Amino acid sequence: MVEGGLNKIEEKDEFQQIMELIREGNNFLLSGGAGSGKTYSLVQVIKKVIEEFPTTKVACMTYTNSAVKEIEERVNHQNLNVTTIHDFLWDNIKNYQNELKKVLIELINEDGVDKIKLINDQKVEPTFFDEIEEIKYSYQGVQLPQGIISHDELLIVANRMFKNHKLLCDIIKDKFKFIFIDEYQDTHKEVVEIFLEHLNKSDKHNIVGFFGDAMQSIYDDRIGNLDDYLKIKVVTEVKKIQNRRNPKLVYELANKLRTDGIQQTHSNDENAPNMISKDEVKLGEIKFIYSENEDLEKVKEYLGWDFNDFKETKELNLTHNLNAIKGQFTNLMSIYNNDKILEYKNLIVSNLKSNNKIVISEDDTFGQVIEKVNLPMSRPIKEFIEINSILFEEAKKYKFILFRRIYLKSDILTDDKKQDEEEENKKGSKRDHLLKHLFKIQNNIKYYKDGKYLEFLKETDYKEYLKNNKLVFNIEQKHILKKNIHELVNVGDKTIEDIIDEAHSKGICLKTYNLLKFQTEKEYAYNRIKKIKFSEFQNVYNYLEGLTPYSTQHKVKGDEFNNVLVILDNGRWPNYNFKYLFENNGNPNVLERTQKIFYVCCTRAKENLAVYYQNPSSKVINKAIEWFGKENVISIEDFVK
């Protein structure tokens, strides 16, 4: 979400600092806390750069479609190229096919590059890609033998391309005199190396600017901060300390969580969202609520918020698993996130990559590969297989060459989470073809139920269905279509397979090649998913479309809501521990990770923030009193009494 508004006095100082660095030819970093208006500063810098350097091209990279769209709308200029990092890198290397093929072969054969490997860690000859017309980049996943790379591989390949080819660095610096990166803390290390290391091999000059907040770095595989580059003065930092979003009590709490020295204060712009007048900032409300037992409904009753107002009130849980329980889609979540047979398969694949002595043929079944590898099972895998013995016997019959490609993970099921219905879909969704098909069916159902008949007619495959059956779309067929969709709306206890078949036979949503391919190549997964009730998938749909009050703590970064309830439950995820946070002990990496996610959650609140902790220790309560104030630390049992 692009942060709006302009604090003229504050912006002038930071803006001038950045422009001075640009005029001196220096790379820069704008660091600012949550709600400070960093992305607006980015827009202002772009406008000024285009004004002062009207013949130069500017590249701007950001992470969401909505941010790309807003920047393009606010800076509509032919010299500005706004895109995602992945698309930017691909656009600048895709035309050098010979070099791409050489780099891919180099990476396949290189030890230590685990993300770019063939089965059995197979090495390849320089002619490996000669029969392939071109290397392609796909959002759908990697297929190295076919010359198709995806997100993770692209970053590694692009990094190596720029590292190996000074000419490529010359070309990009000639093309873009200014390169700006929004939300830099979520950028992968390989990307920062390209812009701050590899490009320096070129004698040509350009300026790279970063915008973001190290405290909002919540993904382990990203750069997190630019401290190493700041130390050697490759980039110069400008700090942005005023807060435009959060009320006083919220940003003061957030200040206690920061570790980088940035301490926010309120805006001195009376038009800022968190200001009442020129000299008065909103106070807001913060609460730390606890109970001995699970009393979440009593907590919500105490707060008195309208949790059906999805746009303004959010309940933030750490994991999708916790939201799956509340959103009632635990069966689908279990299939996508807890299939121990596929976990065992993944372990076998990893073992094969490091063991060249085991030879696997194209005709080997999963069962035959199990016998060849003879890999011991962990206790959770054993227990899962004992409970699901029939499922395991079925899995063993599949050809390993296909079975090994089945990949189920919660990210596939829960990708592209929106905070409200109007929010745009992100580019490059991780959803598999089955889920995409189910979404199309449910879109048809929802359009019809909501009375959006033009959208329904556009979404449905009925005209194609009539064409295939040599029928004409006349009044009679309109009545049949209405009858068909009306029948489909009443899903009852029908399974996912029932609805797929019915939607196809009624011409509402025809089975596609990609769906049939999924059913064939990922038959094991499809056979599990097809038995689930379609109504459970509808619960997933509502959750992902922002039609529930639930969200994960990771997915709200960049968003803001009037009322925010943060549930401090680790959800059995060892990477986080809220007890560590409040007691200030435990594994340092876990503590830092937890501190950052808690910071992100707290700073989403525009009016009211509540934090709920079940069965806290006395140390946790004491820290809560220190952070929230004694009057704001509440036992729900006392409230009930």
Query: What angle, rounded to 10 degrees, do the helices at 85-93 and 166-175 form?
Result: 120
Question: CA-to-CA distance for 431 and 406, rounded, in angstroms?
Answer: 13
- Residue 233 burial class via C-beta count within 10 angstroms: exposed 0-12, middle 13-18, buried 19 and up: exposed
35 marked as part of a ligand binding site: yes
495 marked as part of a ligand binding site: no
3-state secondary structure of 393: helix
Query: What angle, rounded to 10 degrees, do the helices at 433-449 and 534-544 form?
Result: 80
Q: Name every residue whose Cβ is closer than 8 Å to that of residue 573 and which is 6 or more positions away in sequence.
A: 318, 319
Nearest Cα neighbor of 539 from 233, 285, 331 is 331
34 marked as part of a ligand binding site: yes
Question: CA-to-CA distance for 428 and 440, rounded, in angstroms?
Answer: 16
214 marked as part of a ligand binding site: no
Give ∠ CA 493-499-501 in degrees, rounded to 5. 135
28, containing H or E segment: strand 28-32
For 315, half-sphere exposure in the C-beta direction (CA atoms, 13 angstrom radius) is 23
Q: Give Cα separations from 543 to 420, 421, 556 (angstroms).
A: 10, 10, 13
Q: Are the C-beta atoms of 512 and 498 separated by less than 8 Å?
A: no
32 marked as part of a ligand binding site: yes
Q: Are the C-beta atoms of 612 and 296 separated by less than 8 Å?
A: yes
Nearest Cα neighbor of 609 from 217, 282, 271 is 282
Single-letter amino acid code for the residue at 78:
Q
95: its two tokens: 């035309």
Question: CA-to-CA distance for 436 and 627, rounded, in angstroms?
Answer: 44
- Residue 399 burial class via C-beta count within 10 angstroms: exposed 0-12, middle 13-18, buried 19 and up: middle
Nearest Cα neighbor of 242 from 277, 284, 281 is 281
Q: Which residue, chain included where needed, has tokens 């980015």?
A: 42
Q: Are the C-beta atoms of 149 and 136 separated by less than 8 Å?
A: yes
Measured in degrees and rounded to the nearest 5, phi and psi for residue 105 equal -65, -40
37 marked as part of a ligand binding site: yes
**Radius of gyration over every alpha carbon of the chain, rounded to an integer in angstroms:** 27
39 marked as part of a ligand binding site: yes
Nearest Cα neighbor of 631 from 325, 363, 202, 283 is 283
Q: Are the C-beta atoms of 512 and 545 separated by less than 8 Å?
A: no
Binding residues for ATP: 32-39
Binding residues: 32-39
